[in-house]
Structure 1
Amino acid sequence: MSDIQPGGPVIAPEENPVPASQQNVKAAKPASLWTDAWHDLRRNPVFIISCGIIAVLVVMAVWPSLFSPLDPFDARTCDLVTARQGPSNGHPFGRDNLGCDLYARTVYGAANSLVIGISTTIAAAIIGGLAGLVAGFFGGKTDTVASRITEIFFAIPSILGALLIGSTFRDSGFGIWLVVAALTILGWPMTFRIMRAAVITAKNQDFVVAAKALGAGSGRIMFRHLLPNALAPVIVITTINLGGFIAAEAALSYLGVGVPPSEISWGLMISDAQRRFLDAPLPLIFPAVFLSITVLAFIMLGDAVRDALDPKLR
């Protein structure tokens, strides 16, 4: 006998209930190149090690007194009687040819190297990036003229050109900023080429065509659409170039046209120490080791960033 009473309400069969665990699931945010790159970088030991070394160097450059209680700019800390002495209590690296504390000078030398390297990198990235963006977007005569100018700068050997600029304007009073200007003038063409190639590849994509169809101006297309999509290779080359600029500053200082003698630089320390290297090798070894570690750290960082941002390497 049926349990359904005549004229009673019709109850719809219950649908399969949705599990509570699935009711709170939110739509996943679509992954992007930068999200994937950061995910890879956080798990890359090369990136972590290089960032750790760079962080220590930055703190050393900004607050050198945290690492050394002695002020190498104070002449009272130098004593010719103790020149070229080995490591001792209170002087872990020994003393240089003038009897100054080698450890303090090495610590304080990080500031000029990092300031010159970072300033040159930023200036070269801005100049080369903007020029490459404009040349790649407009093409035609603009691209031709910009490319020919770039080839002229590429034909000049970097160290030789910087040496010429430094020796010509040595007495101008610009100090370390003369080194920044010399390296920037000869360092921006590489960024130009990378940015130009990335923009030429990106400007034919559908999102750029759509932006043009909607009436977007050239400035909006370049800075809102093309620039973010062309930044990845520029960031990679910029990071690697930073280590190269630091090494170039040391080379110019070694040759006597870089950091003024009144300042402290690893290149100047190496130049002063090489004259008495056989008698006292430590004054040359310690700044050379710090310079090598710094350059290597930025090259390692650039390699890690390249591996994370290049989809072909995934």
Structure 2
Amino acid sequence: MNKYFAPSELIINEDGSIFHLHVKPEQLADKVILVGDPGRVPTVASHFDTQECDISSREFRTITGTYKGKRITVVSTGIGCDNIDIVMNELDALANIDFNSRREKEKLRSLELVRIGTCGGLQPYTPVGTFICSVKSVGFDGLLNFYEGRNAVCDLPLERALLNHLGWSGNLCAPAPYVIDAHPELIERIAADDMVRGITVACGGFFGPQGRQLRIPLADPRQNEKIESFSYNGLQITNFEMESSALAGLARLMGHKATTCCMVIANRVAGEADPSYKNKIDDLIQLVIDRI
């Protein structure tokens, strides 16, 4: 008999919905678009031909509908890999655990997940406005290290090469980063020929972890310089954001497909930023919703 999940581990609300998202199993589509900002959920859903549910709980907002015959769920995650841990585990539970018996289903569903977000460009060829699809993600967050099977799905040679290049050890910065591949078929379909493909670093914060210094000095003042100069098998680190590693890593461990597509709103090399990006990100939304 399949494993039983106790009420303390799988928390189900009185209405039969999952604890944080407040979504019920029948409200989840196989195709899922993730965004950080709950305000961006209705922007994505405005493209839908029909809508069947609109659920808000804390920073998590979920709308499921159809677009050109495809059933799609769009979910806001908030910021950071810690929130991705909540969203991914709850989406997987909705897909693959029977809420009545509290046991894993005999037939498992594989979800297709694409995160649409914003990022900081780290190369001269990723100026403001560039769309980047993450081929690999580097997790400075440490989240995947808490899950069994981490080494089986991670790119261990790249991890060693990056750590050697950065020269971090002990408690300096992120001494145990993990590197995870996005799903290759999903990359080919979503990135097509009009997105830059590269390595994305998912950071545990917006300021120090991304090399921004305000009043507190950085532990490694050369952090960004080292990251920008790293190259591995023809790939460079193209951008910073805060969620892609946990998304790709948990998806691999759970048997789902995932990748992240971001629009560059600040280029760290050029020192440029565009705070009015919200008017332009709809072009990226349109590409993803057509290709998912």
Question: Scaled by the length of structure 1, what TM-score is found?
Answer: 0.25
Q: Which has the larger radius of gyration?
A: 1
Structure with greater strand share of residues = 2
Structure with greater helix share of residues = 1
Question: Scaled by the length of structure 2, what TM-score is found?
Answer: 0.26
